[in-house]
Amino acid sequence: MAKYPHGDTKWFKEARFGMFIHWGLYSLPARHEWIRHYEEITDEDYQIYFDMFNPDLFEPEKWAKAAKAAGMKYMVITAKHHEGFCLFDTKYTDFKVTNTPVGRDLLKEVVDAFRAEGLRIGFYYSLIDWNHPDFVIDRRNGPYRNLPEEEFKKHNENRDMRRYAQFMRDQVTELLTNYGKIDILWFDFSYPNKEHPEDITLGKGHTHWESEELLKTARAIQPDIIIDNRLDLPGSADIVTPEQYTPGKPMQDEEGNPVAWEGCQTFSGSWGYHRDESTWKSEEQCIKLLIDHVSRDGNLLMNVGPTARGFLDDRAEKGLGYFAKWMKYHSCSIYGCGAAPGLTAPDGCRYTWNPKTNRLYLHIYSWPFRFLELKGLGGKVKYAQLLRDHSEVLRDEASAAITGKAGTDVGNISLKLPVQKPDDAVPVVEIILKEPLA
Ligand code: GLC
């Protein structure tokens, strides 16, 4: 038996595509969710954002509809980020949404809205907490990280990580008790200092969070819940969570076993709403991100950062719109799909494969002139069509007698593509195979 019980990742691997939502007080300064850290903002000075938090254009139904239209099947929202602000009602701190001018449990409203659209629900919960009076401050992150030694020590005098660990268990208990079935719990993050793991002012890991206990607390309430790999507890993760990069192949857990994974990505360079950040990804980049993840057996968790007023700004809506447009015709190559075993896609292409339907999807990043040779598919294809409109794609089968037709080698086929690239960010050919791939 595994050392740690695991959650249910079956639905997750089918779903493949979710929405990440970073929303908290940092949406007011609108200069990144790590603003307290970067600008070393004291508790006193950060208070203004709490006092001003009043999202008058908050319409979670719109977020949920946009997510659904984009083809997303689940969401993960920051119940609490590193700043320590709780978007939910809690008995264990006053630094919570119900004490701000808006005065309501907005997490609950978001959950209800997404459930109404049929999406599954995940909570992001920050292990780091720059607000809690028992969170021992360290030199690695937070507003007080650069204090001179004397002051630094003074700040830490009465802090007690054991009480903080209990606080986290209490809050996780609330989150997993008061909001119905929660599908994902996304802890963030551990940073143990390798040379001095015992020195809590240099880094923090599983001993400081009491990760085993935290995990047990969560599993006892919701045994099927999916838990990420950021608790610093090898062997406990249901999913691995690469961030802001795309792995080149299917992933493994800390112990080398194949594992479900989910890459989290931003539309621009910040998770929280950032007014002036402008590295927004293009339509093609967004669609390729999704395909790249799925072609390597992963999920994509695409982030939006709603504004302080509670709406998704035009740039975020536009980004979601790219997915909506593409997924309307191409979701078959995403849901339930993963890597295509034993096949190598041609240059500038990606395969995904649906093991249930035994359909292979060829995503063409770079549109060739008329012919595209597919290795190892000779004699194996029953039919091929453009996924966009189910129009037939003709093919040449090479035979020993006529090798070289359109350059096709024996054992391969060549697709005959239209000269004009279809008007999709990434066109897809759906290939119906005669025999199962694996
Ligand atoms: C990082 C950042 C954080 C963000 C997260 C998403 O760990 O600390 O701001 O929420 O990545 O994966």
- Among 308, 333, 358, the domain boundary falls at 333
Q: Is residue 321 part of a domain?
A: yes
**Whether the CB of 21 sits within 6 Å of ligand 1:** no
In the numeric block, the tokens 């037939």 are attached to 392
Compute the distance from residue 188 Cα to the ligand 1 centre, in Å.
7
Query: In terms of domains, do 14 and 156 share one?
Result: yes
- Among 277, 298, 333, the domain boundary falls at 333
Distance (Å) of CA 134 to CA 33, 37, 204, 310, 435: 22, 18, 14, 31, 60
Q: How many domains does the chain have?
A: 2
CATH of the domain at 86: 3.20.20.80
Query: In terms of domains, do 81 and 154 share one?
Result: yes
Residue 148 pLDDT grade (very low, low, confident, very high; cuts 50, 70, 90):
very high
Q: Is residue 4 part of a domain?
A: no
Q: Is residue 327 part of a domain?
A: yes
Query: In terms of domains, do 184 and 268 share one?
Result: yes
Burial code (b: 16+ CB inside 10 Å, e: under 16) for 349-380 equals bbbbbbeeebbbbbbbbeeeeeebbbeebbeb
Segment 402-425, tens digit of pLDDT? 555 555 677 899 999 999 999 999
- Among 273, 301, 333, the domain boundary falls at 333
Could you tell which of 188, 229, 261 is best to mutate to test the pocket of ligand 1, judged by most ligand atoms within 8 Å of the CB?
Answer: 188
Q: Is residue 196 part of a domain?
A: yes
**Whether the CB of 264 sits within 6 Å of ligand 1:** yes
Does the structure show a pLDDT above 80 at 163?
yes
Of 82-91, 143-152, 172-181, 370-379, least confident by mean pLDDT is 370-379
Compute the distance from residue 20 Cα to the ligand 1 centre, in Å.
11
Distance CA 297, CA 341 (A): 11
Q: Is residue 317 part of a domain?
A: yes
Segment 82-124, tens digit of pLDDT? 999 999 999 999 999 999 999 999 999 999 999 999 999 999 9
Residue 272 alpha carbon, nearest atom of ligand 1: 9
Phi, psi of 7 (to 5 degrees): -85, -175
Query: In terms of domains, do 218 and 137 share one?
Result: yes
**Whether the CB of 323 sits within 6 Å of ligand 1:** no
Atom 5 of ligand 1, nearest CA residue:
188
pLDDT for 406: 54
Residue 189 alpha carbon, nearest atom of ligand 1: 7
Phi, psi of 137 (to 5 degrees): -75, 155
Query: In terms of domains, do 222 and 82 share one?
Result: yes
Asked if residues 131 and 199 have their Cβ atoms less than 8 Å apart, the reply is: no
End-to-end CA, the chain: 28
Contacts of 405 (CB under 8 A, 6+ apart): 396, 398, 414
Atom 11 of ligand 1, nearest CA residue:
243
Does the structure show a pLDDT above 70 at 401?
no
**Whether the CB of 243 sits within 6 Å of ligand 1:** yes
**Whether the CB of 351 sits within 6 Å of ligand 1:** no
Residue 1 pLDDT grade (very low, low, confident, very high; cuts 50, 70, 90):
very low
CATH of the domain at 359: 2.60.40.1180
Query: In terms of domains, do 159 and 75 share one?
Result: yes
pLDDT for 255: 75
Half-sphere exposure of residue 261: CA atoms within 13 angstroms, side-chain side: 29
Atom 4 of ligand 1, nearest CA residue:
271
Mean pLDDT of 63-70: 98
Enclosing domain of residue 273:
10-333
**Whether the CB of 138 sits within 6 Å of ligand 1:** no
Query: In terms of domains, do 428 and 300 share one?
Result: no
Distance CA 314, CA 316 (A): 5
pLDDT for 396: 87
Distance CA 39, CA 190 (A): 22
Segment 183-192, tens digit of pLDDT? 999 999 999 9
pLDDT for 420: 97
Residue 243 alpha carbon, nearest atom of ligand 1: 12
In which element (H, E) is residue 385 found? Answer: strand 381-386
pTM above 0.75, yes or no: yes
Of 94-98, 129-133, 154-158, 397-401, least confident by mean pLDDT is 397-401
Contacts of 305 (CB under 8 A, 6+ apart): 21, 22, 23, 27, 33, 270, 271, 272, 273, 274, 316
Query: In terms of domains, do 144 and 36 share one?
Result: yes
Contacts of 378 (CB under 8 A, 6+ apart): 397, 398, 410, 411, 412, 413
Segment 222-280, tens digit of pLDDT? 999 999 999 999 999 999 999 999 999 999 877 788 899 999 999 999 999 999 999 99
**Whether the CB of 140 sits within 6 Å of ligand 1:** no
Query: In terms of domains, do 288 and 394 share one?
Result: no
Q: Is residue 183 part of a domain?
A: yes
Type of residue numbered 228:
D
Query: In terms of domains, do 327 and 367 share one?
Result: no
Which pair of structure tokens corresponds to residue 395? 């093919």
Query: In terms of domains, do 31 and 118 share one?
Result: yes
Q: Is residue 3 part of a domain?
A: no
Residue 398 pLDDT grade (very low, low, confident, very high; cuts 50, 70, 90):
low
Segment 4-39, tens digit of pLDDT? 999 999 999 999 999 999 999 999 999 999 999 999
Q: Is residue 372 part of a domain?
A: yes
Query: In terms of domains, do 266 and 405 share one?
Result: no
Mean pLDDT of 312-323: 98
Residue 78 alpha carbon, nearest atom of ligand 1: 10
